[in-house]
Amino acid sequence: MTTATEKQTLGFQAEVKQLLHLMIHSLYSNKEIFLRELVSNASDALDKLRFQALSKEDLYEGDNDLKVRLEFDEKAQTITLSDNGIGMSRDEVVTNLGTIAKSGTAEFLSSLTGDQKQDSRLIGQFGVGFYSAFIVADKVEVYTRRAGMKPEEGVRWESRGEGDFSIETVTKEERGTRIVLHLKEEEKEFANGWRLRSLVKKYSDHISFPVEMIKENMDVGEEEEGKEKAESAPEFESVNEATALWTLPRNEIKDEDYKEFYKHIAHDFSDPVLWAHNRVEGKLDYTSLLYVPAKAPYDLWNREAPRGLKLYIQRVFIMDDAEQFLPLYLRFVKGVVDTNDLSLNVSREILQNDKAVESMRSALTKRVLDMLSKLAADDAEKYQTFWDEFGRVLKEGPAEDFANREKIAKLMRFSSTHQDDDKQTQSLEDYVSRMKQGQDKIYYITAESYSAGVKSPHLEIFRKKGIEVLVMHDRIDEWLMSHLNEFDGKHFQDIAKGELDLGEVEDKEEKQKQEEVSKEAEPLLNRLKEVLKDHVEEVRVTHRLTDSPACLVVGAYDMGVQMRRIMEAAGQALPENKPTFEINPEHPLVKKLGEEQGARFEDLTWVLFDQARLAGGENLKDPAGYVSRLNKLLLELSNAG
């Protein structure tokens, strides 16, 4: 800890400089949000003070009338925002107003494109916070003193929002923070009472604390009185409702209020897609307000990224990012939970083992799943945009939340052979409603991409019979399917695994014919086994192929090709699984193969085997051997011709 009191000039962290630059340019059309960000910070600071004062009343210093004050000076072109919240120490100022604490900031910034519209959306999800002051101000001063510290331990911070800031120790009698914005010449219109009032109303009506402004003189008649009053302290009045939004009855809340409140708690500035506001009384007593954002945050895949709800107990803010109230696969949900069932001195550790929290968690999980189901039913298009953004996270659900897996499965969307693009738009209910007479399984194939999937020879018989197959091409799909055994009482079947049994879809005649063909092919199967020996588990006649000569099938309980590829890429050593080699005796090449002998039979066998590997999206063990055999055959062919 520094004990410096002298004036220092310090450089901003490189990321801050970059963010300042980008923000000023890309948020130009959205500049009024600076006020929401600063009021939001003031409100957070008041929340923190109230929380810390629970165990240390002295922090109030005799003043527990918590509020935000907004003043302006038209002539000087300044706006001043003060709060009597927690304040900051000198070290805290250096960290909070000189760096960005979020992990992954550098990666995030480098993902920006320079396209103003695109970037402004991204920066919105990132949350610009305090630095947004520099959209409208060319100089910002911050005076602050941490609650509990001495008046002489106040801090003054100043910056022009370029490369650096200065910091010095000053005396500040009142605890909390005062921010003075020196408006840019072209933004001076913000130093206007009517404008500021309407912005506070618009953006900060339902934060928990009053935002006060000097009382306006209503008419000329009061002018005289006003003059007298000028001698005494000016009178302030609250310009916002100052009741925490979630405590109001639903029918008193406008959509706009819900949206603005979301921006305050989520540090996002796009509108949310969806929200659910509920009060529960009885065995448990709590209110929840849950939101689904429109866009995935930049750090959705960062395991350390903060997640969870804002926790209030009896209306008192307790902590941000209380992650115990929702499962990991719903980590994109933002919101507030306010309960009377926990004691005010609760800690993260206690939350982890608390029965009431566990009950709330399962109720809130259902709440989110229900709200998503409702969206899917009411507005398929909007639901699709949600799925495109967060579907992959939801796919973690069945593994994490066994009890709700059927509900989650209903929310899933996949690609299928029923469509001709790679969009994930088919629900399992859609699929089931289209199942063929006698079909008792849900068929799927996993592949590296949609186009690789639909070209797989494994699909041939399904095409011929007109049976739909789900084409799963997300990296996590094979893993997901290992946790989803059935849907609506129907088992899932990976069509590249195990023996294929189309059940009732095939009639007796077809089955009989298959048996005959198998019997006839027996001598050939034995000869193939002789050649492929240790490389295969089994050689058999296929039921899958109609156009291709051969394919490889993975054992019913073995790891699939996609999963194997991902694990190997991650450096995992895996035991070898021998595939089953299936041949199509009706195919001219296979018929020809049956007539061959000796070296030529062996070469042709290996070529067919390797081709089956390739068609299944696998790599060859001996590519050079394949090429030389194929060339030999080609040469013989041209010699013969």
Binding residues for Mg ion (CB under 5 A) = 41, 129
User: CB–CB of 411/373 below 8 Å?
Assistant: yes
Q: Are strands 470-472 and 486-487 parallel, antiparallel or unpaired?
A: unpaired
Distance (Å, rounded) from C-alpha 9 to C-alpha 158? 9
88 binds, among ligand ADP, Mg ion, none (CB under 5 to 8 A by kind): ligand ADP
The contacts of residue 426 (CB under 8 Å, 6+ apart) are 413, 414, 415, 416, 418, 419, 470
The contacts of residue 63 (CB under 8 Å, 6+ apart) are 84, 174, 175
State which H helix or E strand residue 65 sits in. none
Stretch that binds ligand ADP, among 78-86, 106-114, 408-416, 489-497 (CB under 6 A): 78-86
Q: Which residue is nearest to Mg ion (CB)?
A: 129
State the distance between the two ends of the chain, measured CA to CA, in whole angstroms: 88
Minimum gap (Å) between residue 614 Cβ and Mg ion: 54
Q: Does 154 bind ligand ADP (CB under 6 A)?
A: no
Nearer to Mg ion, 97 or 273 (CB): 97
Minimum gap (Å) between residue 129 Cβ and Mg ion: 4
Nearer to ligand ADP, 102 or 418 (CB): 102
Minimum gap (Å) between residue 132 Cβ and ligand ADP: 8
Nearer to ligand ADP, 177 or 208 (CB): 177
Distance (Å, rounded) from C-alpha 311 to C-alpha 219? 44
- Residue 541 corresponds to which tokens in the numbers above? 């006649």
Minimum gap (Å) between residue 16 Cβ and ligand ADP: 10
User: What is the strand order of the sheet 154-159 is part of?
Assistant: 8-11, 164-170, 154-159, 137-145, 176-183, 78-83, 68-73, 211-214, 236-238
Stretch that binds ligand ADP, among 79-87, 109-117, 293-301, 542-550 (CB under 6 A): 79-87
Long-range contacts of the stretch 605-608 (C-beta < 8 A, 24+): 605/528, 605/531, 605/532, 606/531, 607/633, 608/549, 608/550, 608/583
Distance (Å, rounded) from C-alpha 427 to C-alpha 415? 9
Nearer to Mg ion, 94 or 470 (CB): 94
Nearer to ligand ADP, 45 or 590 (CB): 45
Q: Does 20 bind ligand ADP (CB under 6 A)?
A: no
585 binds, among Mg ion, ligand ADP, none (CB under 5 to 8 A by kind): none
83 binds, among ligand ADP, Mg ion, none (CB under 5 to 8 A by kind): ligand ADP
Please report, for residues 78, 232, 354, 533, the alpha-carbon distance to residue 73 in angstroms, rounded to integers and kept in the order given: 5, 19, 51, 89
What is the three-class DSSP state of 13?
Answer: coil
Distance (Å, rounded) from C-alpha 457 to C-alpha 398? 30
Q: Does 236 bind ligand ADP (CB under 6 A)?
A: no
Q: Does 77 bind ligand ADP (CB under 6 A)?
A: no
| Stretch 432-461: interaction string toward ligand ADP, x if CB under 6 A | ------------------------------
Q: Are strands 164-170 and 236-238 parallel, antiparallel or unpaired?
A: unpaired
Minimum gap (Å) between residue 269 Cβ and ligand ADP: 12
What is the three-class DSSP state of 274?
Answer: strand
Nearest C-alpha neighbor of 188 from the set 92, 112, 79, 105? 79
Q: Does 45 bind ligand ADP (CB under 6 A)?
A: yes
- Nearest 5°: phi and psi at 175? -75, 165
Distance (Å, rounded) from C-alpha 291 to C-alpha 244? 16
Stretch that binds ligand ADP, among 35-43, 187-195, 213-221, 446-454 (CB under 6 A): 35-43
Nearer to ligand ADP, 158 or 341 (CB): 158
Kindly tell me which residue out of 90, 172, 175, 267 binds ligand ADP, with binding defined by CB under 6 A.
Answer: 267
Minimum gap (Å) between residue 212 Cβ and ligand ADP: 15
Nearer to Mg ion, 129 or 616 (CB): 129
Nearer to ligand ADP, 88 or 541 (CB): 88
Please report, for residues 64, 95, 128, 138, the alpha-carbon distance to residue 180 in angstroms, rounded to integers and kept in the order given: 24, 19, 18, 11
What is the three-class DSSP state of 235?
Answer: coil
- Range 100-129, binding ligand ADP (CB under 6 A): 127, 129
Nearer to ligand ADP, 177 or 365 (CB): 177
Nearer to ligand ADP, 66 or 86 (CB): 86
Distance (Å, rounded) from C-alpha 348 to C-alpha 346? 7
Nearer to ligand ADP, 23 or 97 (CB): 97
User: CB–CB of 3/89 below 8 Å?
Assistant: no
Kindly tell me which residue out of 19, 39, 42, 79 binds ligand ADP, with binding defined by CB under 6 A.
Answer: 42
Distance (Å, rounded) from C-alpha 407 to C-alpha 397? 10
Side-chain-side CA neighbours of 246 within 13 Å: the count stands at 28
Nearer to ligand ADP, 105 or 339 (CB): 105
Rg, the chain, Cα only: 33
Tell me how many residues contact ligand ADP (CB under 6 A): 17
Nearer to ligand ADP, 129 or 398 (CB): 129
Q: Find the angle CA(505)-CA(510)-CA(513) to the nearest 5 degrees.
A: 155
Nearer to ligand ADP, 85 or 560 (CB): 85
What is the three-class DSSP state of 503?
Answer: helix
Kindly tell me which residue out of 32, 71, 83, 396 binds ligand ADP, with binding defined by CB under 6 A.
Answer: 83
Tell me 554's DSSP state: B
Longest dimension (CA), the chain: 117
Q: Does 96 bind ligand ADP (CB under 6 A)?
A: yes
42 binds, among Mg ion, ligand ADP, none (CB under 5 to 8 A by kind): ligand ADP
User: CB–CB of 547/460 below 8 Å?
Assistant: yes
Q: Which residue is nearest to ligand ADP (CB)?
A: 129
Minimum gap (Å) between residue 135 Cβ and ligand ADP: 13
Kindly tell me which residue out of 8, 13, 21, 130 binds ligand ADP, with binding defined by CB under 6 A.
Answer: 130
Minimum gap (Å) between residue 37 Cβ and ligand ADP: 6
Minimum gap (Å) between residue 558 Cβ and ligand ADP: 48
Stretch that binds ligand ADP, among 38-46, 370-378, 479-487, 524-532 (CB under 6 A): 38-46
Minimum gap (Å) between residue 3 Cβ and ligand ADP: 21
Minimum gap (Å) between residue 268 Cβ and ligand ADP: 11
Kindly tell me which residue out of 120, 125, 177, 542 binds ligand ADP, with binding defined by CB under 6 A.
Answer: 177
Buried b (16+ CB within 10 A) or exposed e, 404-420: bbebbbbbbbbbbbebe
Distance (Å, rounded) from C-alpha 162 to C-alpha 139? 10
Q: Does 41 bind ligand ADP (CB under 6 A)?
A: yes
Contact positions vs ligand ADP (CB under 6 A) = 37, 41-42, 44-45, 83, 85-88, 96-97, 127, 129-130, 177, 267
